[in-house]
Amino acid sequence: MLFFYRTLLLKSYILCGIIIIQQYIEVIKMKNQVAEDKKQLKENKADQNNVNVFTCPDCGAKLVHEGGCVFCPFCGYSECQ
């Protein structure tokens, strides 16, 4: 009977260990996800900044660079440098 209890105890220890490891992995995954989200947010912000710099002030379309000039293919706005 004592042997049975020992085995049961050992089994529950192992089970506890597995659960703790699983929770640990879950926490690591969540941390990675948060880091990934922050990175994504930064990239999105950088993209938005780029768009702000290269958009037409008249219609808001993306400007095209050509021969030292920037022009808008939609409304014809152009800005030569």
**59 scored as a contact of Zn ion (CB under 5 A):** yes
Q: What is the 3-state secondary structure (H, E, C) of 16-63?
A: HHHHHHHHHHHHHHHHHHHHHHHHHHHHHHHHHHHHHHCECCCCCCEC
**77 scored as a contact of Zn ion (CB under 5 A):** yes
User: Which residues within the stretch 11-30 sit at the binding site for Zn ion (CB under 5 A)?
Assistant: none
**63 scored as a contact of Zn ion (CB under 5 A):** no
**44, 65, 75, 79: which one binds Zn ion (CB under 5 A):** 75
**56 scored as a contact of Zn ion (CB under 5 A):** yes
Which pair of structure tokens corresponds to residue 4?
A: 């049975």
